[in-house]
Amino acid sequence: MEILLDFDGTVVTHDYPSIGKDIGAIPILKELVRNGHGLILFTMRSGKELDEAVEWFKNNDIPLYGIQTNPTQHKWTTSPKAYGQLIIDDIGLGCPTKIDLNLSNRKFVDWIKVEQLLRDLNFI
């Protein structure tokens, strides 16, 4: 399965243009990859800020299947919208979020709840 993954507020706290703080995504993202899922970074970041987000994944040993696009979709569509079967995004309807003022004054993805949802769906 290809999973579209936002960055700010989803993988790390909102600190754009800087890289945000760890919010617990790393072990779950690694487990998704170990289970054969492809992670596609799907973010509003561009230029230097996008490069820094990609570097965050490299530094945390989390391989990306794609960046801003699904690498296979050009074979069957010219649409600029990235294709995936699941999107994890802090602004997605129903995505569990939380606020921890010790980390950020903005909400971010609650990875403990996301992990349980992924387990319930047998993705991990």
Domain span holding position 92:
2-120
CATH number of 74's domain: 3.40.50.1000
State pLDDT tens for residues 75-103: 999 988 999 999 999 999 999 999 999 99
Distance in angstroms (rounded) separating the CA atoms of residues 99 and 8: 14
For the chain, how many residues are written?
Answer: 124
Q: How many domains does the chain have?
A: 1
Distance in angstroms (rounded) separating the CA atoms of residues 105 and 27: 24
The set of residues, in sequence order, having a beta carbon less than 8 Å from that of 29 and lying 6+ positions away, is 5, 11, 39, 60, 62
State pLDDT tens for residues 10-55: 999 999 999 999 999 999 999 999 999 999 999 999 999 999 999 9
pTM over 0.85: yes
